[in-house]
Amino acid sequence: MNLESLRIALGGLMANRMRSFLTVLGMLIGVAAVIILVAVGSGSEAATAARLESLGSNTLTISAGGFGFGRNQGTRSATVSLTDKDVRNLANQAQAPDIKAVVPTVSTASPPRTRVRPTPRAPSTAPRPTSRRCGTTT
């Protein structure tokens, strides 16, 4: 019984050679695509992990101002500014012996844009002219 099924299957494959070839080709392309995508994903993950590890766990960023992101930047009463004196104090080994390096940076952000929308005018009740004259009048 199994030999008969095998003979019928091989006969079907030989009768439709092009269809069989294209089916096998499609399966090979699909498997290769999955393998390539998994490899690219793993490589990207490893590169990202290596980059994050290179930053180290001993890096601390201090920013002046409130807290939060976007329009919800925390309370304005909590806004504090950092000065050059603060940078010098952090870089001083006597005052802060555990700090190895201080790198001050300055960044500015543009104020939020306010969009002014004109109020819609009421439709005019006066009749509009239908034609206009061009040229000079006497």
Q: Are 40 and 48 in contact (CB under 8 A)?
A: no
In angstroms, the CA 67 to CA 74 distance is: 5
Residues 66 and 87 in one domain: yes
**What is the distance of C-alpha 89 from the center of its chain?**
37
Pair 77, 93 in one domain: yes
Range of the domain at 98: 60-107
Q: Are residues 86 and 38 in the same domain?
A: no
Same domain for 1 and 53?
yes
Residues paired with residue 72 on neighbouring β-strands, in sequence order: 69
Residue pLDDT, tens place only, 65-115: 655 555 555 555 555 677 888 888 888 888 888 888 888 777 666 555 555
Supply the pLDDT for residue 98: 80
In this prediction, residue 97 carries a pLDDT of 83
> Rounded to two decimals, what is the model's pTM?
0.39
Tokens of 35: 């393998």
- Higher pLDDT: 72 or 47? It is 47
**The predicted structure's pLDDT at residue 55:** 73
For 72, the 3-state DSSP assignment is: strand
Based on the structure, what is the number of domains in the chain?
A: 2
With respect to residue 131, please indicate whether it lies within any of the assigned structural domains: no
Residue 65 and residue 102 in one domain: yes
On whether both 48 and 93 belong to a single domain, the answer is no
- The tokens of 70 are what? 């976007």
The residue among 30, 20, 100, 7 whose CA lies nearest residue 58 is 100
